[in-house]
Structure 1
C-alpha cells in the first residue's frame, strides 16, 4: 500500500526526461564544443543522460529507456564528429534518433501502460484517480486502454514524420567537408552545420510536430470524455 502511494505521489516526469536526456546534451554539443573541445563536450554531454539514468535506476529500480536513447544520440553525434565523419552519415544519424524514439513509443503501445499515459495523464496535473473511478463506473477500462494504444501509435507516427523531415533537411545542411582542411577548421564547419540544423529544425520540424501533438491531445481528450463522461475542466486540477 505504501509503495503504491509513493509511486502515485512521485510519478516519473516526462519533461525532465526530455530535458536531461536530450535537450541539455544537444545544447552542450552545439554550443560548447568550440569552447572546450569536441572530446570534453562529448564527455560532458554524455554525463547528463548517464547520471539521470543511474539516478532513475536507483530510485525506481528500472532502466530508463530515454536515458539509453539519450546516450545513443549523444554518443553518435559526438563520436561521428570526433572521428571526422560527416555529410551523409550525419543525415542518417539525424533521422535515426527520432526513428528510434518512434519505435520505443510504438512498442509501448502494446504494453500495460502506453507511453501516452506517462506523457499526458500526469497525477500532478489531472485527476487520474477520478478518471479511473469513472471508467470503472461506466465499465470502459478496456475501451479506454485501446484508445490510449491508438493515441500512442499516432504519437509514434509523428516521430516517423520527424525522422523523414530530419533526413531531408540534414541532407541539405550536412554537406561533405574538405578533408584537406585542418582538424580545427573541419570542426568549426561541422559545428556551424550542427547549429544550422538545430536552428532550421525548430521551424521545419518542431512546428509540424507541435501541431501533430495538439491534434493527438485533442484526440486523447475526446476519447477521455467519450469513455468517462468527464470534461476537460473536470479532469484538470485547479
Structure 2
C-alpha cells in the first residue's frame, strides 16, 4: 500500500494549519493552552469511569484502554460496536462531557470550517508503548455531516489517514502533545488508524498517549 509522509514533528511553521484533505486538517499545538483545564477533568472522568480493555466482536481484548464521557459512550463487546448511554461496568450514565472539552472541540471544528459543532460523546483512548489502532472507519454515528475532532496528549504518535477503501494510499502524520485534528465532510469516512506507539516519557503524562475523540453520536 502506497503511503505519503507528512512530518508534523518538526514543521516549518508549527502554528500553521496542515491541510491533509479538502475537509481534514491538523491544528498544531491548538490544545496546548487548554491542557491545564483538560487534565483535571480527564482525571475525574477516569475516576468515575475507569479505563478498561473492551472485548471485540471476535472475542479479543483491545490493547488500547478506553473510557467515555458525554450522553453517549462508544462500546464494544461480542454483540458488536455501538454507542450506549450507560457504562457497562457500572450500569450508570457516563460522566458528563466537560464544558472545556466541548469548547475546544467547537473551536477546532470552526477552524476547519465546521460551524456550531456540538459533540455529545468523547471517547478517551489511552495508548501504552507498542499499542496501535488498525485502519478503520467511524461508522457508528447517526449523522455523518458532523466532523470528528481528535485531541492528542502525551507521547507523540504517527496517525494514518487513508482513503475511502482500506487499501487506498494513506498519509502518515506525526502528532504531538497538544495537536488537534479535524476531519469531516467528504473526508468524514476516510480510513484511519495509529501506528505502534514508540517508547518514551512525556513530562506531563509519562509513558502514555491520551487521545480525546469528540463526535456527535446521537
TM-score (norm 1): 0.23
Higher relative contact order (CA 8 A, sep 6+): 2
| Larger fraction in strand | 2
Larger Rg: 1
